[in-house]
Structure 1
C-alpha cells in the first residue's frame, strides 16, 4: 500500500510537470525567438533612420558613423544607390541566422543578422531551468509522498498490531488516536472491542473459578454417598443413601443453574419464602460426617420454625461455604445459630478457632484474598449469592470468627 501511494502521487506530479512544462517550454522558445527577431528588426530600423538622416543632410555615410549602432556579435549591411555596400561586423557563424531587413524611400536598404547560436543558447538555458524546476518538483513530490505514506501506513500497522493482539488474547485497549477521523474511528471500535473481550474473558474466568469452587463440595458429598452404597449390602441402607444422593444431585444441578444465572445477570434471583430449618438441617447432615472425620462437631442453636425470603439453593450454598470455611480455617465446634433482628432473619456460623487476622478483616470478602493457601473465592461467591437474593453476608466478629447471613422476613398478611 505504501508503494502504491508513493507511485500514485509521483505519477500525478509527473503528469502535472509534463502538462505544465511542455507548453511553457514551447511558449518560452517562441518568445525567445520572437525577442531575437525584434532586436534585429529594431537595429535595422535604427540604422536605416541614421542613413536616411545623413542622406537628407547631404552628408556621406561611413562605417564609423554606423558602427556604434550595432551590438557586438551582430552583422549589418547597408546599401545606398550609387555607393558600394557598407558592412559592419562579421557574418554570424553557422547557417540560418536571425535576419531583419529595412528599406528606405530613396532606394537605401539595411540588413541586420544575429547569430542563431545565441538564440539556441538562450533556449537551452531556459530548458535547463525548467528541467531543474521539474526535478525539484519531482523530488519534493517524492518526499511528500513518502511522508504522507508513512503518516497513513504507520497508524494502519499499529491498528493491525492491535487487532493481532486481540486475536492472541491480549484485550488491553491502547487508546491511541492519529488525527485522521477514519483511522480514529477504527481505533475507537478496536478499543471498544478490546474492552468487551476483556469483560467476557473476565466473566468466563470468573465462572470457571466459581464453578470449580462451588461444585467441589457437592461432588465430594455425592461421592461419599456413593461409597456408602458400594460398601453396604443392606437394601434399606442402599435405598436411603440413594435417595440422599439423588437429593444431592438435585442440589448440584441447582448450583450449576445458579452459577449460570448469576453469570448472565447477578440480579436475576427469584426469591421465595422457604423454611429456613430445612436448609440448616440439610447442611448440618451433609457436613457432620466430614467434621467428625476431622475430630470436630457441628451444633444447631437458636430459634426454630423460621421462614425467610430467598432462594433455598443459594442459601444452602452460602451456608456450605461458611461451614467449609470453618472446617478449613477454624477449630473446635462449629455452631450454626438462627435468630431474628428487626426485619431480617439471621443465620450465624461460628467456630472456636483463632479467628480472622485484623489485616484481612476488611478484605475477607474480596476475591483472591485468603488467610491461607486457598483460592479466596468462596466468601466472595457467597456474598454475591446473598446479595442476589436481596440479603447480605457480613463478618460480625474477628475472634471468635462469626459470619452472619441476613435474609429478609416474609410479610405476614393481616
Structure 2
C-alpha cells in the first residue's frame, strides 16, 4: 500500500508537469522568437531613421559615420541608390534571423543576427523548466513518502492491535493517529478489547465462583452419603438419602444460578421466603460435620421472620459463613436471627481467634485471606447478598461476628 500511494502521487505530479511543462515550453518559445523579431524590427527602424536623416541633410552615409548607430552584435546592410552597400559588423554564419525596411529615399536597411542567440535563450528556458520540474518531483516524492508513512504506519499498528486481540491479549492501546477514519477504527478496536477483557474476566470469575460455590454443597452431600454408608438402620438411611436428595436439588439450583448470573448479573429472582426454613436447613446439613469435629452448632433469636431474597443464594451465604467457622473458628457456632428497622439480620459467630486486625473489612476482597485459603468464599458470599439487595458485613473482629442483612417482607394488611 505504501508503494502504491507513492507511485500514484508521483504519477499525478508527472502528468501535471508534462501537461504544463510542454504548454509552457511552446508558449515561451514563441514569446522568445517574437521578442527577438521585435528587437530586430526596432533596430532596423532606428538605423533607417538615422540614414533618412543623413540623406535629407546631405550628409554622407559611410561605414565610419554609421558605426556608432548600428548595434554591436548585429550585422547591418545599408543599400543606397547608385552607391555600393554599407556593411556594418560580421555577417552571421548558419541559420539567421533578419528584418528589412525601405526608406523614403529608396535606401534599404537589413539587420541580421544568428538564430543561435534565440536557440540559446530557449535552451536556458528549457533548463529552468527542467530544474523546476525536478525540484517539484523531488518535493512530491518526499511528500508522498511522508504521507504514505502517515497512512500506512497506523494501518500496520491497527493490524498489530487486531492480531493481539486474536491472540488473547485484550489490553486496549488507546493510540490515535490524527486521521478521523483511522481514529474511528482505533476506537472500535479499543472498545472491542475492553469488551473482550470484561468477558474474559467474567469467565475467569465464573470459573472461580463456581468451583467455590459447588465445593460447599458437594462437601455436605459427601458427608450425607458417608452417613448413609455407615448406618445399618434403613429408616435412618432413608432419612439421610432424602436429605442428600434435597442437597442435590440445591446443588442444581446453585448451578442454574451461576449460569444465569454469567449471562446477565442483573437478573434476579428475589421472593419472599421463610428465613427459619433456610436457617434450619443449613443447621441440618452442617450438624454432622460439627458433630464429627466435636463442636456444637446452635441457633437463637427471633423466629417466624420472612425476608425478601433468593433462598438458594441466602443458603449459599450462610453455608459459607458456617463453613468458615468450622474451618477457621473454634467452640460453639451460633446462628442468631433478629430485626433492625425494615431489615432482618442473621448473625453467625464463634469463639475462635476471629479476623486479623490488619485485614478488617478487606476480608471481603477477592484473594484476601488470613487463613491460607482461596480468599473467594466471603467475596462470593458478599456478591450473592448484594445481588438480592442485601449486604454482608463484619460486625466484630474478635470474636468474629458476621451479619447478613436482608430486606424484610412487608406484612399484608388484614
TM class by shorter-chain length?
over 0.9
2:8 corresponds in structure 1 to 8
Matched, 1:59 2:59: yes
**How many angstroms apart in 1 are the aligned matches of 2:272 and 2:38?**
116
**How many angstroms apart in 1 are the aligned matches of 2:36 and 2:180?**
57
1:19 corresponds in structure 2 to 19
- Map of 1:36-185 to 2, 5 A cutoff? 36-93=36-93, 95-185=94-184
CA shift at 1:123, angstroms? 0.7
Q: Which moved more, 1:2-11 or 1:160-169?
A: 160-169
CA shift at 1:263, angstroms? 3.4
**How many angstroms apart in 1 are the aligned matches of 2:386 and 2:185?**
39
2:278 corresponds in structure 1 to 279
**How many angstroms apart in 2 are the aligned matches of 1:374 and 1:70?**
117
Give unmatched runs, 5+ long, in structure 2: none
Superposed CA RMSD:
2.1
Per-residue CA deviation, residues 354-408 of structure 1 (Å, 9 max, x unaligned), is: 1111221121222222113222221122122222223221111100001111223
Matched, 1:301 2:294: no
Give secondary structure in 1 for the equivalent of 2:358. Answer: helix
Per-residue CA deviation, residues 5-31 of structure 1 (Å, 9 max, x unaligned), is: 111111111111111111111111111
Q: Which moved more, 1:325-334 or 1:134-143?
A: 325-334
CA shift at 1:238, angstroms? 4.7
CA shift at 1:169, angstroms? 2.4
Instruction: Report runs of 4+ in structure 1 exceeding 6 Å deviation.
Output: none
Give secondary structure in 2 for the equivalent of 1:11. Answer: helix
**How many angstroms apart in 2 are the aligned matches of 1:158 and 1:313?**
49
How many equivalent pairs are there?
A: 413
**How many angstroms apart in 2 are the aligned matches of 1:48 and 1:408?**
123
Cα 1:307–1:106 change in 2 (3 A) is closer
Asked if 2 retains the 8 angstrom alpha-carbon contact of 1:73 and 1:92, the reply is no
Give secondary structure in 2 for the equivalent of 1:178. Answer: coil
CA shift at 1:309, angstroms? 2.7
**How many angstroms apart in 2 are the aligned matches of 1:91 and 1:231?**
140
Per-residue CA deviation, residues 54-102 of structure 1 (Å, 9 max, x unaligned), is: 1222221110122222333321111112111211111112x22011111
Query: TM (normalized to structure 2)?
Result: 0.93
Asked if 2 retains the 8 angstrom alpha-carbon contact of 1:276 and 1:306, the reply is yes
**How many angstroms apart in 1 are the aligned matches of 2:354 and 2:231?**
40
2:287 corresponds in structure 1 to 288
- Map of 1:373-388 to 2, 5 A cutoff? 373-388=372-387
2:314 corresponds in structure 1 to 315
Per-residue CA deviation, residues 267-312 of structure 1 (Å, 9 max, x unaligned), is: 4332333232322222122222333444433222333443333222
**How many angstroms apart in 2 are the aligned matches of 1:72 and 1:54?**
20
CA shift at 1:251, angstroms? 0.3
Matched, 1:405 2:382: no
Give secondary structure in 2 for the equivalent of 1:364. Answer: helix
**How many angstroms apart in 2 are the aligned matches of 1:3 and 1:383?**
59
Give secondary structure in 2 for the equivalent of 1:23. Answer: helix
Asked if 2 retains the 8 angstrom alpha-carbon contact of 1:336 and 1:350, the reply is yes
Give unmatched runs, 5+ long, in structure 1: none
Asked if 1 retains the 8 angstrom alpha-carbon contact of 2:385 and 2:391, the reply is yes
